[in-house]
Amino acid sequence: MKLLRSLAVCLILMLCLAIGVTSAAAPNVELTFWSWRTEDIDAYDKFVKVFEAENPNIKVKFIPFKNTEYNTILATALQGGTGPDIVHLRSYGGMEALASAGYLMELTASDVPDLAKFPKDILRGASNRHTGKIYGVPFAIQIIQVIYNKTIFDNVGLEEPTTWDEFLKISQTLKDNGYVPLSNGGKDAWAFETLFGGVAPNFYGGNDFSNAVINGETTFEDARFVYSLRKMLELRPYMPKDFMGIGYTDMQMMFAQEMAAMMIGGSYETATFERLNPDLKLGVFAVPGEKAGDGGYAAVYMDGSYGINAVTKHKTECLKFINFLASLEYGQMFADELSQPSAIPGVKPKHPVLAEMLSLAENKSTPHLMVVGFRFEQPSGSTLLQTSLQAMFSDKLTPEEVASEIHEGLVKWYEPFQK
């Protein structure tokens, strides 16, 4: 009996040892993380290393694709039942299409507790608009304002304007002194939507109109919207010569090389301008309205989020990584490394220009209208706005005709307009 007991103990010890060896030798889980952010490879490598140091049994492979090809590559893979574990998601309609098709895992506050800290307006870009279910952790917000060259303003003796007339007078003064007042051009249709985001809310009434049109209480044929388009045309004399042939890269270079004094653009431009010209001294202000105190809206939108493939084989590990991406620690790293406003509440940018942008947005923000409210089906509000603004600035459409074209396109699918 003693011999049998000894043998049993030995067998148990050997089994425990075998289990321990097997566990210790278990391979690390590798998560694939697809993105369109090819320009951010180095930054994401740093972010991943921080996560891996805290989670040594989980490896994350960041795989970026060309921006213009990402949507197609991702959709094809997901439709085939494959794709990445972690999905870098476009916002609003881009996210909703994948969620509605069942390709994304729903994220709840029990899975990702930090989601409860996000404002509802920010989570809207990562949620299904019909069900309210959340499928992504927002990573950045973007803010559209006037970015200007402080050195040029100082040399010409200019201060930030407080009314629309002052803004136009400043533009004329810059032009008289040999500068291009605004580097904004019209070759790339989407750049017109950015210009719209910076200018139009200050004349259609900001949130009063945007809430009404999103809720279907009015349409884009509203006189307030038409008036905002007409005000945009007042900028044509201050845009570059032959501005309809000026592309986005030209806009950036014109500003960075100090040929242009201002550019109406997004907060994402800050890092680009400083990379192109480290000596630039940047300032920002929101486009003012017709009277002092009017206008001053900063158009804001959520730029994208991080989600999980619904068929991932590593749900537990994915949730660990997603919780890291939702943390204040990560948000601060993101803002500091990429010079972009993090969407994570509580992050304080160290970059003074970003801090000023966020301050202006906190003071008076409004949705970047078409992106936030009308990008869910085709023809999207963004597509309709962009192409019709190109036509308007080329004198092929009147503001009234632009408004009509947008309404006629959206009424085909936007339910509130069909009632």
Q: Tell me if 407 sits within 8 A of 220, measured CB to CB.
A: yes
Neighbours of 196 (CB within 10 A): 23
Give the 3-state secondary structure of residue 195.
helix
- For the purposes of burial, counting CB atoms within 10 Å of the CB of 76, is it exposed (0-12), middle (13-18) or buried (19 or more)? exposed
One domain, residues 43 and 135: yes
Angle separating helix axes 67-79 and 93-100, nearest 10 degrees:
10
Residue 7 domain flag: no
DSSP classification of residue 368: -
One domain, residues 136 and 146: no
- Give the Cα separation of 99 and 385 in Å (integer): 26
Residue 2 domain flag: no
Residue 197 domain flag: yes
Backbone angles phi, psi at 106, to 5 degrees: -70, 140
Residue 4 domain flag: no
Backbone angles phi, psi at 152, to 5 degrees: -65, -45
Per-residue pLDDT for the chain (419 aa), expressed as one digit of tens each? 454 455 444 444 444 444 443 334 345 999 999 999 999 999 999 999 999 999 999 999 999 999 999 999 999 999 999 999 999 999 999 899 999 999 999 999 999 999 999 999 899 999 998 899 999 999 999 999 999 999 999 999 999 999 999 999 999 999 999 999 999 999 999 999 999 999 999 999 999 999 999 999 999 999 999 999 999 999 999 999 999 999 999 999 999 999 999 999 999 999 899 999 999 999 999 999 999 989 999 999 999 999 999 999 999 999 999 999 999 999 999 999 998 899 999 999 999 999 999 999 988 999 999 999 999 999 999 999 999 999 999 999 999 999 999 999 999 999 999 98
One domain, residues 264 and 370: yes
One domain, residues 76 and 105: yes
CATH number of the domain bearing residue 172: 3.40.190.10
This prediction's pTM: 0.87
- For the purposes of burial, counting CB atoms within 10 Å of the CB of 413, is it exposed (0-12), middle (13-18) or buried (19 or more)? middle
Domain boundary among 317, 335, 354: 354
Overall domain count for the chain: 2
- Give the Cα separation of 353 and 72 in Å (integer): 35
Residue 15 domain flag: no
- Give the Cα separation of 57 and 410 in Å (integer): 49
Domain range spanning residue 114?
A: 29-140+303-354
* First-residue to last-residue Cα distance in the chain: 87
